[in-house]
Structure 1
């Protein structure tokens, strides 16, 4: 507000009313008159649209106050053109009061530019109180103001500028202070007779206003950004669905280009609605189905609020029409003059289809869940039921309403109630349970057994959500399982009884056979009559056949009981096959049958196998083939089916041109005690155990055996051994047990024989012949313990199967007596040891002799168990010079034999072994010493009869034989 006066005093008043930036200001002037009607001046105010009435009221009040003061002055003076000093001072006080009441800072300058007045608000705004109190000059005040400004060039310095430098118009500029505040400065000239006679400056702090404007701009930018970047169509429309503003996704989906092209168009036009025609959107018959029109109409009708509708729209796309599912939201926006409507349109077609698919999937799952034949249950984190299906209700007798919200333990009997919390805690912690067997009591009281398998479902943070479990009714299977266990136990008991029977029969047969063969061997040394020797030979041959039959039965029993163990050693397949063929060569030649071998080049030289059992397989297959083949050939083949770096799958084939096997008989060919109907056992012989043992030995080696055969066209047996380890000659071989060949028995040795069988005692005594060994006999264990009180034997031979006190009990009693515990004990038996006996045997006995036994082996074991305290031997002593020099020196044939022996440590080819035996035999003839002669005879016999174990023991004992002969004194 400005006051123009014709007196020397000039007044400017600026209204503090806030002005709106959206409308223009305008100026209003009021004339001030003396009481006589002459003009004193004008009051001018710059109005804003807001607060117009209030400003006009203030202007009129000021006019009335000034004219009242002029009236007083007029009454005191006859000439109103020259007011008195008092009236001037009164007017000045009035103006000062008005200035102090103003909220804006005001500065008054005289024509020379000097400050004539400023109000207290000005000093507060510029923080000049300390300077004013200290009496600072106007120049100092101007400098202080300048120091606070960023745009200091706008500072008015009175001593530098004149009024003529300013326009004779109202001017407004903005001052920016360094502390962040913003002042709006308004300056108006005081003009008299077209001359500027003063200047009025007003300062208003517009910092809050600017901050508000800035916040408004920022919020507007954010809202505009959200509006434009929203992933759905957003439009500002009127009640007729005519577009006033649309966001970018809306433009992109429309057929129009820039935003301005869409303004004024109907919503249906830019959405390509099938029913949208120019200027008739919302009026066609189909529009009442339109989700956009429904939402907008509802919003318009209610007048406020927000409405959402999910529906469909028919959309033109290319030459066809598609249906889109949309979610439309409409909100009322009230302006000062009218209502607008904000439409948001979200195309939810994909979500709708996904939800529809999910709903269909859930329905299918629910149907499957309810009608699946497997009981299902679900638990919450507190162990209470969340859900069960129909099958669960059938299984337990409880309905869903009976159990939902209850824990598992609450529903079922006491045992489950006590154990369920522990099971559930472990289940929730580990996350799974597999085949947990529990017993439940149904609602009707029936007891059932179920298997529970379940998994825990967790959220993204690993927290328990729920569990899913299935229950399988195990009641019937549990009963079947019990019956199977009972049947298994009965079968095992039957097997045990059978094994015990076989073992007992074996013992009962071996015991008299030991006497028969023992006496035959003793007689063989003294009978010279050819006829008698022929009888004796037949008796020995028949005895050995019977022993082979017993061995077959025992082998079969061992395999059936799972007690046969394999001992793998390096086997030369080519050499083994050659040895097998050599064994049958004579008999095959007599029948006119040709023996053939065919081994592929890929077959490794050495394989880790149980040579004894593999040899047994080949002997059974070739023996069987030769038995039923009268002409043609028998061929054994070896080939590699699959080979890895360190192993190979080997297949052997034994083919013959014999009588063949009918198809119906092939299914039982590998069964025990079975012979083919057209093969008379009187003609071909045999027990029917050969192929059964072969079949079980192959299975024991983790292989398989199969047969191809046709009557009168021959047979082929295939044996496949998978993943057989290939042996390299550089690999170390585990050292084998060596059986020493000592043979020294002091002539004054006392031996106690404990055996309940008198014939066996006689045979044992006969083995010692006419030597000076003293033999004492005990009928049983108790008798032996009584005899030991008087007798001091050097060695005791104890039969293991005796009545009253068996061999183990007798040996234990002897070892527990401090006077007898150092006496060597030898176990003598015709039976197989049980597993428990195998553990006891090493702690009680020094050696084991199985009946029947050859005399040489018997004497050898006895000699090795005796303490080496005497040089007297059973055989005649050698005369001086009978041992050649090569046995006592380091050079000569003895050293060469030892070198040959060393070269045969890892593997002994059949041919090389035969050469070694011939060389030792030649040495025996040269020395003419019974010890070496007997040794080479036993080695030759073991070699020819394929007694691998005996051959191994004798071969390992060779250095001891040589060393003993070298050190023996004549």
Structure 2
């Protein structure tokens, strides 16, 4: 006997199970005096193993039609029975079928198929079998098509077993009876699995259909196989329309390119035997009316046990509101940046307008103090100058806080001497301490290095705020400054500056907010001591800018101990300190015989600067704007130019740019006189050729310090811009 088998798999929606078409070509078979015809057998099955068993059974039956000892009859893992085609009587059963029915083989051979079957006695098994024969033109010599059906069979305990019954073949029994060979398979577990699958599919379909997000699936061939109803609300198209739309009508070109890139990566992963990665990203979709909207898309490749791609499951969520919110934030940020820029310009303008008259007041006071006046007048002028410094400190605090809030405050990184910082603070508070009779001391931890890398100007400012507060709130006793090293982290070290006084102290309840803006101990103290409470706020922000923090320990009438920490790097001798931090001495000896051009649109400032310079025997010329200054520079030789920045006709920046275009004036020191400059302006000034700058208001000592930096040698004209301490 020879046979060939061919398998054709249909789509899942065409049939739940594959059909195996097996053609048996019985060339010649004769046994016990009868001839078996050729047979076409259609077997409904779902795996190759059962097909193998069925073929074995068929071979056994062909070889041993009457033998109960046929080896493959009992070998089958499924129930196999011989049933009389007319009476339905069981003529032969295997033990598998007997166990399935809860009976012995002998018990089954004494009853008929109809005793177990729920098909009904009206038609009987033979009638149904003849129906198949009739469909084959009633030819009794040819096999009917093998079909399968599902029915229930009864067991002795009254329960029912759900089975799948298949016609396998027919054989000729004793006394010319026709026996039908049936294969009986228990499918209870399969039906249960099918039920669970159907329930699961229904559950997921309900979830998908009711979800606000669009759920979709795609076949390995790139065909959309499912789109949830939410797509209609999202895009204005039905699920059926969405499934048929090409990619260029679904996604914008940029998003379509992103999608195609992902699918290519999936294909590459499959070719290389890897599991494809999931996708998460933002894609821009088209609506039916042509408008677009943004979505967040998630897709997950679903793989089978063999590593093959089953489908790609995706979820698409509308993020239009989030995009609108992000865009509004972006626009708000742009507006905030514009507002900050406008605020910076406004502060610069206000600073210029305030500092210019302050410069005149303080410079004139300084000139008067240097003149021949009696003691009472000197005391009045000193009080006036102290008030001016207090007002200037308040203005500086307000401007510095504004710069911090707008991100305009930039810390310098230069080597400085800690001893110089402490000396500057001591010099500034010494007069006030002397007038009050306070003992002022500075204590350094033993072995503390003197050279550090950081912003000495801001460190001095933070320390000065604490020290000046201590002097202000202490009427008798002492003010002590202590500097100590806390810890070290790689190249960085943390220093702690503590200012201890014997003043009025603070109530513990107030200490929580004392570093917040505009906070004071109480209204009585505020009226008695004055101030806006900005110094401590500024100290806190400066400390945090320098990687540290602030704190206070105090009790009423028992003094206070304010501290702040900073992170600094130890400096080295091979790095030059910044301008204004060296202790080279301030002397007016270098001024004698020098010629300086003062350019400022304010006549009072020009006169004051001229008088201050003339005290050092300097020849001074003045100009009221940059254009006049250019003309004067081309007619006479000058050692240095003091240039105001904000002037009519031609400002200081434009004038400096033109000065640098004249070869003979390329190295001429040009020092800006500014009342509104911020650290963010330094790079611009340097690029335009300014050598240094002097902040208004200034006194004779500060003016001399700047001139000493740039007049001793012509090479000093290339000095970098540094903020004057």
Per-residue deviation, 1:559: 0.8
Partner in structure 2 of residue 737 of structure 1: 578
Residue-by-residue CA offset, 1:314-349 (whole Å, 9 max, x unaligned): 999xxx999987666552275898988777676766
Matched, 1:429 2:264: yes
Counterparts of 1:803 and 1:652, CA distance in 2? 46
**Structure 1 residues 698 and 365: CA distance shift in structure 2, 3 A:** farther
Partner in structure 1 of residue 18 of structure 2: none
TM-score relative to the length of structure 2: 0.64
Counterparts of 2:252 and 2:313, CA distance in 1? 19
SS at match of 2:395: helix
Matched, 1:453 2:297: yes
Matched, 1:659 2:507: yes
Matched, 1:288 2:288: no
Per-residue deviation, 1:550: 1.5
Counterparts of 1:580 and 1:768, CA distance in 2? 27
**Structure 1 residues 836 and 648: CA distance shift in structure 2, 3 A:** closer
Matched, 1:393 2:241: no
SS at match of 1:752: strand
Per-residue deviation, 1:609: 7.6
Counterparts of 2:388 and 2:466, CA distance in 1? 24
Write out aligned runs for 1:227-246 (5 A). 244-245=70-71
**Structure 1 residues 496 and 341: CA distance shift in structure 2, 3 A:** same
Counterparts of 1:868 and 1:651, CA distance in 2? 39
Counterparts of 2:613 and 2:360, CA distance in 1? 15
SS at match of 2:665: coil
Counterparts of 1:638 and 1:342, CA distance in 2? 105
Match for residue 362 of structure 1 among 174, 195, 201: 201
Partner in structure 2 of residue 371 of structure 1: 210
**Structure 1 residues 273 and 733: CA distance shift in structure 2, 3 A:** farther
**Contact 1:229-1:247 at 8 Å conserved across structures:** no
What RMSD over aligned residues (CA atoms) do the two structures have, in Å?
6.5
**Structure 1 residues 544 and 712: CA distance shift in structure 2, 3 A:** closer
Counterparts of 1:769 and 1:751, CA distance in 2? 10
Counterparts of 1:326 and 1:649, CA distance in 2? 84
Residue-by-residue CA offset, 1:626-683 (whole Å, 9 max, x unaligned): 989999x999999999998888999999999733447xx97x8776446577566313
Counterparts of 1:330 and 1:467, CA distance in 2? 41
**Structure 1 residues 790 and 22: CA distance shift in structure 2, 3 A:** closer
Partner in structure 2 of residue 864 of structure 1: 709
**Contact 1:239-1:340 at 8 Å conserved across structures:** no
**Contact 1:750-1:795 at 8 Å conserved across structures:** yes
Counterparts of 1:322 and 1:669, CA distance in 2? 87
Counterparts of 1:608 and 1:685, CA distance in 2? 35
**Contact 1:383-1:407 at 8 Å conserved across structures:** no
Partner in structure 2 of residue 332 of structure 1: 169
**Structure 1 residues 239 and 554: CA distance shift in structure 2, 3 A:** farther
Partner in structure 2 of residue 803 of structure 1: 648
Residue-by-residue CA offset, 1:924-962 (whole Å, 9 max, x unaligned): xxxxxxxxxxxxxxxxxxxxxxxx9989xxxxxxxxxxx
Per-residue deviation, 1:539: 2.2
Counterparts of 2:479 and 2:55, CA distance in 1? 89
**Contact 1:299-1:330 at 8 Å conserved across structures:** no
Which sections of structure 2, spanning at least 5 residues, go unmatched?
1-27, 35-47, 80-90, 133-142, 267-278, 716-721
**Contact 2:413-2:454 at 8 Å conserved across structures:** yes
Per-residue deviation, 1:395: 2.3
Partner in structure 2 of residue 472 of structure 1: 318
Counterparts of 1:429 and 1:491, CA distance in 2? 43
Counterparts of 1:365 and 1:642, CA distance in 2? 61
Matched, 1:271 2:114: no
Per-residue deviation, 1:552: 0.6
Per-residue deviation, 1:767: 3.0
SS at match of 2:590: coil
Which sections of structure 1, spanning at least 5 residues, go unmatched?
1-19, 25-48, 51-224, 254-262, 871-947, 952-970
Counterparts of 1:771 and 1:834, CA distance in 2? 30
Counterparts of 2:559 and 2:152, CA distance in 1? 83
Structure possessing the higher relative contact order (Cα contacts under 8 Å, 6 or more residues apart): 2
Matched, 1:534 2:363: no
**Structure 1 residues 801 and 707: CA distance shift in structure 2, 3 A:** same
SS at match of 1:792: coil
Per-residue deviation, 1:800: 1.2
**Structure 1 residues 422 and 634: CA distance shift in structure 2, 3 A:** same
**Structure 1 residues 396 and 641: CA distance shift in structure 2, 3 A:** farther
**Contact 2:218-2:311 at 8 Å conserved across structures:** no
**Structure 1 residues 455 and 331: CA distance shift in structure 2, 3 A:** same
**Contact 2:671-2:694 at 8 Å conserved across structures:** yes
**Contact 1:314-1:323 at 8 Å conserved across structures:** yes
Partner in structure 2 of residue 174 of structure 1: none
SS at match of 1:455: strand
